[in-house]
Amino acid sequence: MSGEERITRPLQIALRYGAESWMDQDPDAATRAEMGDLLRRAGELCEASEWIGTEDTSDRADAWRALEDRFRARLAFGTAGLRGELGAGPNRMNRVLVAQAARGFADYLLAREAEPTIVVGYDARINSDVFARDTAEIMQAAGVRATLLPRRLPTPVLAFAVRHLGASAGVMVTASHNPKRDNGYKVYLGGEDGGSQIVAPADAEIAQAILDVANGRKLHDIPRAQDYEIGDESIVDAYVDATAAAFRGRPGPLNWVYTPMHGVGLETFERVLDRIGVPKPAVVRAQADPDGAFPTLDFPNPEEPGALDLAFAAADTASAELIIAHDPDADRLAVAIPTAGGWRAFGGNDIGKLLGWRAAQHVQEAGTTGTLATSLVSSPALEAVATAYGLDYAETPTGFKWISRAPGIVFGYEEALGYLVDPDKVHDKDGLSAAVAILELAIGLAAENRTLADLDADFADRFGTFASRQVSNRFAEVSEIPRIMAALRAALPTEIGGVRVAGVDDFADGFGDIPPSDILRLRLEDGTRIMVRPSGTEPKIKVYIDAQAGGDDAAARERTANRAADGAADAMRELLAGI
């Protein structure tokens, strides 16, 4: 056992001091009690010659390990803002961390302009409303005029409000599709940033400002004010109007099912549907009400196995033609249709390519031009559409903070169920406007006795068959991920699933227009592309596999593309498991 794995008396002294100092400034009774309980269970310090090792499984040892976990690092602020598990200590999401973030962000904004403004939104996760009010109070007292949205609302409404109000910045309190015990703090910048999420160097500058607050001020010394504004309902009305305008078809009959997955999408979505005049869905009642406890879901992410099971059951009962699902903050969209073999859930690349095709057709009809944009780990199918329609194509780093910044963007998407359908309205992914676009397609197809599956086949006939797979390895500790990536770089494979590796691109030092990123791209001889990268929001390494095939024989195309994608996926699972 190495010294780093032991909890020694000096470490215990530091942990106890940190815990007591934390409790002294924590305004939340629940997290104060949590920290106090850990200290009580930890009990007395070890003697100078003693330590707690991994072989000690007592409750006392577990408490010391829990304290060490909470204080060994600070929850990092980056381009995704803050995101992590709720709990006490600097390595968790809590009111202390949020207050420090709010004051640090306020200092950053005040250094940029004399009279900055900010709009703050929140979803239905545990403590989202509390964190949002803390942020508004601290911002207002610091000299940043704050507007708090009137109630829990989808993330796209907040992203819209930043531009609609001409605000200097925005904060959305949400953990989006993360595990149920998580919460987060997503940051947007107005002005020249156009209401997009932050990118470098703003992330590092804001992080330093937050750290300065954490190291130099106690929460008791950070002033608060209650005279912030409550956003007018007209903000939501304007968002609903703009989202409804994305529907460019003709309303018609459709039998469909919808679930907000215990999130905040239903109310706003129903208002949009009323404005358009399309048929209302059958709602999955067990998941209709916003509930941060997520009682029917272990993991409120529509991509996760089992997440759509209640929607499938409701759709079977209703003999539905379509399922639409939003994640808890309604910035992501999932779609499923019935087939002879059961429900088919479309992947993000499947929906992205169809919505990209729709956008290209609209641009052509308008006689204009523009850019189709997607992240470098998403399917190359969108590039095929751009080429066919004479549009520009942009391949960006992962995340909508980059996609939304593509010059001349008319549509953008990433494979993780995120779609930017209306860049004039929102510079972020928007599950509500994407749902409107899907309904436009589905209703138009239904009028011809066709479905999204038929449209998918039309796409393959015109642009080729594209098959995507994803392999994810989840880790207990984020610290394991750099070791895995380093080991992979040190022993790069020469073949994957029996297919020779034709080339490898390492993005560690940047590649083309992509800034330095912890990403590897493997190109196989059969044209299959494999991307390997750590997740930006979860302790995962993700592998993205894209294969394609052309030719006039649809069945042969599909067999070839799927065989290549499946073979690469199986081989990558085996490779990562062996590292």
Any idea which residues carry the catalytic annotation? 176
Length of the chain: 579
Is the Cα torsion angle 159, 163, 165, 168 positive or negative in sign? positive
Helices and strands (H, E) in the chain, number of each type:
17, 24
362 in helix, strand or coil? helix
Closest-CA residue to 436 (of 224, 235, 156, 134):
156
For 160, 170, 381, 403, 522, the CA distances from 545, given in Å and listed in that order, are 33, 35, 13, 20, 10
Spatial distance between the Cα atoms of 134 and 120, rounded to a whole number of angstroms? 10
Spatial distance between the Cα atoms of 344 and 315, rounded to a whole number of angstroms? 12
Q: What is the CA radius of gyration of the chain?
A: 25
Alpha helices (H) in 253-380, listed in sequence order = 265-276, 309-318, 348-366
Structure token pair of residue 45: 């310090």
Structure token pair of residue 97: 């961390």
Using CB atoms within 10 Å of the CB of residue 474, give its burial: 0 to 12 exposed, 13 to 18 middle, 19+ buried: exposed
In the block, tokens 């972020």 appear at 428
295 in helix, strand or coil? coil
Neighbours of 415 (CB within 10 A): 24
The answer to whether 465 and 549 are in contact (CB under 8 A) is yes
472 in helix, strand or coil? strand
Spatial distance between the Cα atoms of 124 and 328, rounded to a whole number of angstroms? 8
Quote the crossing angle between the two packed helices 431-446 and 155-164, to the nearest 10°.
110
Spatial distance between the Cα atoms of 408 and 372, rounded to a whole number of angstroms? 8
246 in helix, strand or coil? coil
Break the chain down into helix, strand, coil percent, rounded to 5: 40, 20, 35
| 282-283 and 256-259 beta bridge pairing | parallel
324 in helix, strand or coil? strand
Supply angle C-alpha 357, 360, 362, rounded to 5: 110
Structure token pair of residue 360: 């290209």
